[in-house]
Chain A
Amino acid sequence: MIEGILIGLTTALTFQNILMVMVGCFFGTIIGMLPGLGPMTAIALMIPITYGFDPATGLILMAGVYYGAVFGGSTSSILLNAPGVPGTVATSFDGYPMAQQGKAGKALAIAAWSSFAGGTLSAIYLLFMAPSLSKVSLSFRSPDYFALMILGLTAIAAFSSKGQFLKAMMMVVLGLMLASVGQDSLSDITRFTFNNMNLTDGISFVLVVMATFAMSEALTIILKRNDPTSAAKQVSLTELGSIKINKEERTKMYKTIPRSSVIGFLIGVLPGAGATIASFLAYGMERNVVNDEEKEKFGKGSVNGLSAPETANNAACSGSFVPMLTLGIPGSGTTAVMLGALLGFGVQPGPRLYMTNPEIFWSIIMSMYIGMVILLILNLPLIPYIARILAVPKNYLIPLILFFSITGIYVMSFNNFDIYLMIGIAVVATFMRLYDFPMPPLILAFVLGGLMEENLRRSLLLSNGSWEFLWDRTLTLCILLTTILIVVWHFYKTIIKK
């Protein structure tokens, strides 16, 4: 492991990679801050830029954008009560009341320190857990992988949107259907191309991400421009107040941060869960743990109530890298985008990644530490200035997002058809978003589609067409039972609620 850490440090500490972490954190913070634009959009917009880099540098840039965007989301939560990303919704519960009391600067500082601590602690957990899990995952066979993908897709559908499980499952199927377009990987038979040569190689991953996130996000913002419920509130940037945290507040944070970071990391590791659930769980747990006097302050500007979700959502970000790096199966929509980008670089994440490409594996982990420090250095003194980004007029923001999306496809294919296809998918996605059809399950399914078919093919061929492979191995059976448990639990909760 020491050797790996040194390899990682050597790669992460090059001038170019440190610069990429800084650029990633900075742009991630800015994009994440803008309500409606989350880490997936931020990473999607960065993909064209990464074409010019080697895989390690490209991934370091995207990782920087990821935790920068998660932190940026908390700024709009605190200042506007308009979370930039779902993972920072819980931050607004106590962050916004604190800002209304004239302590916006303090709230932002608590969020920055909590994010830093959560991210750093979980990077330490990742450092120890990832190699061990890689060794365990070497024993995984095709049926286990197939079952694990079913688990990941079901879990992301169950957790993605409250009471919208069927909608999310429909998006999963749609994602898998889109992934099936083009040549079959083994027989080279073309499927669903309707004799259109442009579809022979399938639909590009970047195209689907740009269309369903960046572009449809921009169209949704324009569409809902006059919607009174989504109209952006104005923030008074002159009333941020002091960013100093006193001793009593620090003491509270010292207790909250370790427990929230553990919860965040563990939830982040689970496929389909991620920052949103982690932040809500940490908030709920913190409320149950604190004394009655402190409990009363929850929802009215509690330090614990703000620190817990902020720690947990950053810890979950690092946690979500575990299944992606060790199993090659992304645990969230955001890591699915990163996995797609890695595959684009010709790198296959999985249990052998840390043996075949140790510089990528370890440099991502080491760059997380650097990223956390940079985020803190960048965000604390720049809080009043960065907050001004919230005032960027949508008249400029929307065309620029569309421009980045179309450029991303243009530099990749130099093909008009891809641009039309992207606009078409974006229009459909915008309409579906209006009716609460979640997009992350679609992306995860699209990325996993090829791998899923491959593993099902191997499993069925080895078992001579019998589905017994699903319960032949204890590991496969355990994963499937977990999947069933998630579905049953989800329906039980829905019925109980009624």
Chain B
Amino acid sequence: MNINTTKVISLLFFIFSAFYLYTAYQIQVFAFDENAPFNARTFPIYLGYTGLFFSGLKIILPDPNTIKVQHKTLEYKKTAILIVIAIIYGSTILKVGYFLTTSLFLFSSYYFLGERRWVLMFLLSFPFVAAFMYLLHGVLDIYLRDPFLQSIGVMG
């Protein structure tokens, strides 16, 4: 039996299903529901067993379609940077506000992906976000929280 990454993922899924099943058994149900034909833990328990069954089969059975990923050609660094920028964006959007954080997120993402056309980068961040904000907030009446714009009096 070959141990390839697909099988490792299946093994992780097997462990996850086992944990899910354990947690499903821990769900507290009402005393009168304990012996009912169906209660809050019934469906999750079936799901846990089904997960164990399919991932177990995937681990045991031979894998004729082995996927080979060329890790050397993958851009892990840029992807990781982009994820970190997205996390920073997510953590500041509520406190700072939609306009500034979104514009800075777009601008920095373009930069880290290798873009250096500054005018285009600017146009596709600050004015673009302003136009999009107008579409959502002004035209479609979708509320957008923006403490920064409120503090400088641009947004009501």
Residues of A at the B interface (CB closer than 8 Å) are: 48-49, 51-53, 162-164, 166-167, 169-170, 173-174, 176-177, 180, 184, 186-187, 189, 191-192, 219, 222-228, 393-396, 398-400, 402-403, 406-407, 410-411, 414, 416, 419-420, 423, 427, 430, 432, 434-437, 452-453, 456-457, 460-461, 463-465, 498
**Are A460 and B47 within 8 A (Cβ)?**
no
**B91: nearest chain-A partner, CB-CB:** A416
Interface residues of B (CB under 8 A from A): 5-6, 9-10, 13, 17, 20, 23-24, 27-30, 33, 36-44, 47, 50-51, 54-55, 57-58, 61, 64-65, 67, 69-70, 73-76, 78-79, 82-83, 86-87, 89-91, 93-94, 98, 102, 105-106, 109-110, 113-115, 120, 124, 132, 136, 139-145
Are the C-beta atoms of B82 and A51 separated by less than 8 Å?
Answer: no
Contact call B74/A406, Cβ cutoff below 8 A: no
A177 touches B47 (CB 8 A): yes
Closest 3 CB pairs of A and B: A465-B37, A52-B140, A419-B90
**What are 14 A-B contacts defined by CB distance under 8 Å?**
A51-B140, A53-B140, A174-B51, A177-B47, A184-B40, A187-B29, A191-B40, A223-B79, A398-B113, A411-B142, A416-B94, A419-B91, A432-B9, A461-B36
Known: A226-B73, A227-B74, A396-B110. A219 touches B82 (CB 8 A): yes
Structural contact, B124 and A166, CB atoms closer than 8 A: no
Chain B residues near A419 (CB, 8 Å)?
A: 86, 89-91, 93
Please report the C-alpha to C-alpha distance between residue A411 and residue B146 in the assembled complex, in whole angstroms: 11
- Contacts known (A166-B58, A222-B78, A420-B90); A396 close to B51, Cβ less than 8 A: no
What A residues does B37 contact at CB under 8 A?
A: 460-461, 463-465
Q: What B residues does A407 contact at CB under 8 A?
A: 102, 132, 136
Contact A402 B17 (CB under 8 A): no
**Residue of B20, B40, B50, B74 with most partner-chain A CB within 10 A:** B40
In Å, the complex CA distance between A180 and B39 comes to: 13
**Contact in complex: A222, B75 (CB < 8 Å):** yes
A456–B109 CB distance below 8 A: no
Chain A residues near B82 (CB, 8 Å)? 219, 222, 398-399, 402
Is there contact, CB below 8 Å, between A435 and B40? no
Asked if residues B65 and A223 are in contact (CB atoms below 8 Å), the reply is: no
Q: In the assembly, what is the distance between CA of A170 and CA of B64, in Å?
A: 17
Most chain A Cβ neighbours within 10 Å, of B27, B78, B79, B124: B79
Q: For residue A49, which residues in chain B have a CB less than 8 angstroms away from its CB?
A: 140
Taking a contact as CB atoms under 8 Å apart, the answer to whether A192 and B23 are in contact is: yes
**Smallest CB-CB separation from B108: which chain A residue?**
A399
Q: Report chain A residues within 8 Å CB of B73.
A: 224, 226-228
* CB nearest to A53 among chain B residues: B140
Q: How far is the CA of A465 from the CA of B35 in the complex (A)?
A: 10
**Contacting residue for A394 out of B23, B43, B86, B113, CB 8 A:** B113
- Specify which of B27, B47, B61, B70 is in contact with A189 (CB 8 Å cutoff): B27
